[in-house]
Structure 1
Amino acid sequence: MFNNKKNSNSYMESGKSQNRISHGTTIDGDVVSEGGFRIDGTINGTLKTSAKVVIGKDGKVEGTLDCNNADIEGVFSGKLLVQGLLTLKSTAHITGEVTTQKLAVEPGATFNASCTMEPGSNPMNNSKKEKSV
């Protein structure tokens, strides 16, 4: 009678919570979480999560960001490590060093960074390598 399937983001499907850094909030230091983040304030330091991070238009991160996926509309400066997809919206301003598997850049985004694109750990790719050796 009831369908338990809901249209939700991956952080909700895995039972992880969504964290929000609101406009006007500044965090100085390191943050580690299993849940996703929506940043409309400022983080100065390191943010590490196994989930998705969204930096809103008013959001600003200076330091290191290590996450699964990221959508950036605001400002990022520092070292950005994204295991999956990094999406830069038209209002994004990125400076520093970027490592990601996939990159999508909308027209208008500012991207002044060194960028390394590395494949993620894909079991299908690993099994093919083992068979060919």
Structure 2
Amino acid sequence: MAFRSDDISINTLVGSGSFVKGDMKVNGFIRIDGDIDGNLETDGAVIISEKARFRGNLTAKSVIVGGIIIGDITAKEGVKLLSSSAVVGNIISRRVQMEDKVIFHGHCISIEEENRYATAVDTFLQVKAIRDKAVIS
């Protein structure tokens, strides 16, 4: 999974030692070197660096994970888990790459064909919503 030339400049940076609590919606490419406790949504790419910790659901065009994520990842173009990464949650993407020594605990949906991907995502999200509601009640 490669980033296109329009993905090169970082629009948002959460620096090392920073802590963000709450949901975020940003435009473009975001790099996270600190900690986030909340959901993140972007129309661009996301890099979670090796020392970063993220707790929440992540929605982006593509994601590279080097740190820790506790939550679901939805990335239409692709997800790459580096050997230093740990993900406890579900991954939904058209392409998923995992290096050796990755820690992953969850379900993974990876379907290349657009219509089948969209159907699988819709079904998964409906089941998840029902399950989450049942747990809360």
Which TM class, normalised by the smaller chain length?
0.7 to 0.9
Partner of 1:115: 108
Q: Structure 2, unaligned stretches of length 5 or more?
A: 116-137
Residue from 62, 65, 68 that aligns with 1:72: 65
Whose strand fraction is larger, Structure 1's or Structure 2's? 1
Q: 1:68 is paired with a residue of what secondary structure?
A: strand
Q: TM-score, normalised by structure 1?
A: 0.77
Query: 1:116 Cα shift?
Result: 1.4
Query: 1:120 Cα shift?
Result: 6.0
Residue from 48, 54, 57 that aligns with 1:55: 48
1:25-60 CA distance string (max 9 Å, x none): 111111111121110101111100010000001111
Query: 1:69 Cα shift?
Result: 0.4
Matches within 5 A, 1:1-133: 9-12=5-8, 17-119=10-112, 121=114
Q: Tell me how large the CA RMSD over aligned residues is.
A: 1.8
Query: 1:98 Cα shift?
Result: 1.4
Q: Structure 1, unaligned stretches of length 5 or more?
A: 1-7, 123-133
Q: Which has the larger radius of gyration?
A: 1
Aligned equivalents of 1:65, 1:71: Cα separation in 2: 11
Query: 1:119 Cα shift?
Result: 3.5
Q: TM-score, normalised by structure 2?
A: 0.75
Q: 2:65·2:81 contact (CA, 8 Å) conserved in 1?
A: yes
- Identical counterparts, % of pairs: 22
